[in-house]
Structure 1
Amino acid sequence: MIHVKTPNEIARMQRAGRFVADILDELRSLVRVGVNLLEIEHRCRELIADGGGVSCYWDYAPPFGSGPFRNVVCLSLNDAVLHGLPHDVDLGDGDVLTLDLAVSLDGWVGDRAITVIAGTPREQDLRLVRATEEALAAGIDAARVGNRVGDVSHAIAEVAAAHGYEPNVEFGGHGVGRTMHEGPSIPNAGQPGRGPRLRAGLTFAIEPWFAASTRDIVYDPDGWTIRSADGSRTAHSEHTIAVTDDGPLVLTASG
C-alpha cells in the first residue's frame, strides 16, 4: 500500500533519517584494513540503543530470507551486494564494503546505504561506487510531483548504461514510512512515463546497486547474502526521500 505523509510526518521521518545518517557516518570511519565486520555490527547496535532507535532488521523475516535476520546492519563484502550477514571476517586492503541500515525512531523509519573501500582502492571499484552515487542522484532528481515511478527507474538505468553496467531489477527501491517496506516499488530500470504518478507526500527509498560485469545474482547458503553471480565486485547507494511541491527532499542526508 502507498501512504501519503503529512508535512509533520515527513519532518519526523527526517529526524529518523538523520539518525541513520549519523550512525553510518561513524560506521564509515571504522572501515579500515584489519577491522572485523562483527566490530562494526556491535558498534552499530550500541549507537542504535544509545539513540533510542529500534533496528528494522532484527527479527526481519521476509519471504526471500532464511529465518529471522539477527543483526542490525547489512554488511555486504566485495561481490556481496545486498542483505550481507556480518561474519567474523577482517577487512583486507582494497575490500569493498556496503553498509545498509534501516532504523525506526519514534515510530518512523530511515533507510540508507553507502559503499566504502578499505585501504587502497582499485580504480575500477571507485568507478563502480561513483556510478551508484550518480545513479542515486539522478533518481532523486527525477522524484518530482507529476513524474512517475518509471521516470525514477529510467534515470537510474540511464546512468548505469553510461557506465557500462546492467541493473538487476529483482531488488530495488521501495516506499518507507512507519515500516521499512511500503509501496511503491522503485526498480532500478524502467520505462519513463510508466507506473504510479508521484505526488507530494510520497516517501520512498531509492537504491541503485550494480555489479561490475553481470546483472545476475546468487544466494549464499545462509539464505540472506546476495552476491553477483560471476563473483564481480558490487556497490550500492541509497537514500530515503520525500516528494514535495518544492522538489525532492533527502531525508537521510548527513546533518
Structure 2
Amino acid sequence: MSAITIKTAEDIQGMRIAGRLGSEVLDYITPYVKVGVTTGELDRLCHEYMVNVQGTIPAPLNYCPPGYTPYPKAICTSVNDVVCHGIPGDKVLKSGDVVNLDITVIKDGYHGDTSRMFFVGEPSIMAKRLSAITFECMWLGISKIKPGNHLGDIGFIIQQYAEKAGYSVVREFCGHGIGKIFHEEPQILHYGRPGTLAEMLPGMIFTVEPMINSGRKEIREMPDGWTIKTRDRSLSAQWEHTVLVTETGYEVLTASAGMPPPPEFISAKS
C-alpha cells in the first residue's frame, strides 16, 4: 500500500478549482435530466460543456485501470438498479427512473470528482427515501472528517444510518484519495468500526461516496466489464463529494452554486 499524500497549498487551490468545475457540470446538466432524454445525450452535453465551456478534460473517458477495457464515455450514468459505472448509451429515461450522474473533470492536472442523484418525472416514494437517506449518509460521513479522527469513523456512521433505515451498504466500491491521480490512497470504506484505519491529517483529500441499496448489498457485474448492478435488482443510490481535511475540520471541494445544500442537521452544527 502506497502512502497517503498530504497536499500542498498549491495542490489544495488546484483541487478547489477542479472540484467546483466538477460540481458545475452537474449544475449545468440538471435541466436536461427529464423524460425522453437518452443517457448518451446527457453524456454528449456534459462532454461538450467540459471541453468547450470549461476547458476541462473528462477523466473517465478512456480511463483504464489494470484488468479493465478503457471506459468509453465522459460520464457515468447509473439508472435504477445500477450501482455505479453505468455506461451512457441509447437508454431512454422514463418517468419514475432515478439516475446517478458521476462527473470527474481534470483541470490543470487536478481531478474534481462528484456525483448526484436525479429524479426523472415523478419518482416513487421508495426512490425518494432511498436517495434522501443516501444523501444524509454522505453528509454524516463528511461530518466525521477532522484531524485526529479515523477513516473508520466515516464508514461506521454511514453503515449505522443506512442499516437503521433498512438499507444495505455496497462493500466492493468505496471512496478514494484524489489529486493529480484519479484514484489513490486512502480507500474510504462506507462501513466499518470507529477508531480503525488511518488517522486523518490536515491536507488529506478524498471522496466520500456511499452506494446504498434498498435491498441486499450483493452486486453483479454486467458483460460490458464496467456496469455494476444490484444482484437482487433492487434500487441503488449514490451521492459523492470530494473533501479536504483542514486544520479544524473539513472543506467540501466539490461545491457550486447549484449543488443541493447540506441537510439541516449538518448546517445546524457548522
The match for 2:56 is 53
2:181 matched to 1:195?
A: no
CA offsets per residue over residues 105-160 of structure 1, 9 Å max, x none?
01111100111110001010001001110011011010110001101111211211
Alignment of 1:104-253 (within 5 A): 104-253=106-255
Say which SS state the counterpart of residue 160 (structure 1) adopts: helix
Give TM-score scaled by structure 1 length. 0.97
CA apart distance, 1:202? 0.2
2:169 counterpart SS class = coil
Q: What secondary structure does 2:51 align onto?
A: helix
Alignment-mate amino acid for residue 209 of structure 2: E
Residue 44 of structure 1: how far off its partner (Å): 0.9
Deviation of residue 173 (structure 1)?
0.4
User: Partner letter of residue 108 of structure 2?
Assistant: D
The size of the alignment, in residue pairs, is: 254
The reply on whether 1:99 has 2:124 as its aligned counterpart is: no
| Partner of residue 28 from structure 2, selected from 26, 30, 34 | 26
- Segments of 5+ residues of structure 1 without an aligned counterpart are none
Which of these residues, 8, 12, 19, is aligned with residue 10 of structure 2?
Answer: 8
Report the RMSD for the aligned CA atoms in angstroms. Answer: 1.0
Q: Deviations over 1:4-36 (max 9, x none)?
A: 012332121011000010101111221101111
Percent of aligned pairs with the same amino acid: 38
Q: CA deviation at 1:64?
A: 5.5
Instruction: Give the unaligned 5+ runs of structure 2.
Output: 258-270
| Distance of 2:147 and 2:231 partners within structure 1 | 37
Separation in 1 of the partners of 2:182 and 2:159? 24
Match of 1:83 among 68, 82, 85: 85
- The TM-score with structure 2 as length reference comes to 0.92
For residues 41 and 89 of structure 2, the distance between their equivalents in structure 1, rounded to whole angstroms, comes to 10
Distance 1:158 1:143 in 2: 17
Could you say which residue in structure 1 is the equivalent of 2:65? 62
Amino acid at match of 1:230: D
Q: Is the partner of 1:129 in helix, strand or coil?
A: helix
> Runs ≥4 in structure 1, deviation > 3 angstroms?
none
How far residue 63 of structure 1 moved from its aligned partner, in angstroms, is: 3.4
Query: How far apart in 2 are the matches of 1:238 and 1:64?
Result: 25
The code of the aligned residue for 1:121 comes to P
Counterpart CA distance in 2 for 1:229 and 1:221 is 14
Separation of aligned partners in 2, 1:219 and 1:244: 37
